[in-house]
A and B are shown apart, each in its own frame.
Chain A
Amino acid sequence: MTPVRISIAAAVGSVLLLLIVLELIRGRRLKERYALLWLATGLVLLVLSLWRAGLNTIAGWLGVSGYPPAILFAAAIMFVIAVLLHYSTVLSRLTDDNVLLAQEVALLRARVDALEREDAREPATEPRAG
């Protein structure tokens, strides 16, 4: 069985994580879509730390006989990996978007330049800066 103190510490940790995530959402410093995985992490860890018999059973299924809290670590690590993987996909998308924006800006600037040159050729327009 998991030592009670570990269960309490894990529960307190999970609640803290949940509170911090909620506060970040409330302060609009974290978008909901990115917070979902973190909320899921906090909730699952909270459940696993409070539901001591359940943790024991799961440990049994996985053949972890000596030390059930290892399942807590395993769950936490899995969620961290999931969050990181999610970030990599977000990063890839942002990179693509960034390239697209830079290209679009460059093409638009070329068109503006061309229009300004056309404009400048016509008489009685004010001189351009730059």
Chain B
Amino acid sequence: MNRRVVAVVPAFDEEAAIGAVVAGIREFDPEIDVVVVDDGSGDGTAHAAAAAGATVVRLPFNLGIGAAVQTGFRYALEQDYDVAVRLDGDGQHDPSELPKLLEPLERGEADVVTGSRFRDEGTYRPPLGRRLGITWFAKLVSLLSRQQVTDTTSGFQALNRSAISLFARDYPSDYPEVEATVLLLKHRLRLTEVQVEMRERETGSSSITFLRSLYYAVKVTLALFVGIARRSAVPTEGSPR
């Protein structure tokens, strides 16, 4: 493969999991460079990632998932990678699914490929609250983009250079995948979904997480409409703000 591929892995306090994630990617394909963006972790995340053979970009303090992922895309742009794949630092994304994500890019059929848990009959059955949120955003984004999108909250993605350069300039902050989907389509980049399985994470379902999900759902919905109404979707370099 002559295309240079980088795996962007955002991680916050993932000391226990990150080593295996990095090793898993390298084992799957040693040609893929792994960059771990340590989002101001207080534990040994950076050390564990470096020990497993990743390049580590350490943010000086916690910026949140969106800005951390964007840091990875900026790295990919700076280092001139052709393709970036994004995997979460907690190990829920399985590197052996990567070929499915990379294929449509190789064939030039898409600018971004998302690993969806709901495209076909997957085995993932999320709890009710989460399922409601996922369905709400899938329907809303599908409506806004006039294209069927089944999983707007998946962080398992592969991007080509156009998409990398867009996200390096502009990437949303909380639950960024939902807004990013709309941003992509607004810039007329082509999005494709492929069915993937993800490893389960333990999910708490206390009332606090429910309220928090509701808060995020409202916030992200607002952000979606703001994103659409925004005058210039991407502030160009050096433009007055």
Contacts and interface: CB of A to CB of B under 8 A. Distances in A.
A105 B40 CA distance: 12
A110 B8 CA distance: 14
A107 interface: yes
A8 to B, nearest CB: 44
Given A93-B241, A107-B75, A102 B60 contact: yes
Nearest to A104: B74
A106 interface: yes
A70 to B, nearest CB: 35
A118 interface: no
Contacts of B71: 103, 106-107
Chain A's interface size range is: 10 to 19
Contacts of B241: 93, 96
A109 interface: yes
A99 interface: yes
A64 interface: no
A103 B58 contact: no
Interface string A15-36: 0000000000000000000000
A114 interface: yes
B59 interface: yes
Contacts of B70: 103
Interface in B213-236: none
A102 B61 contact: yes
Interface of A: 93, 96, 99, 102-103, 105-107, 109-110, 113-114
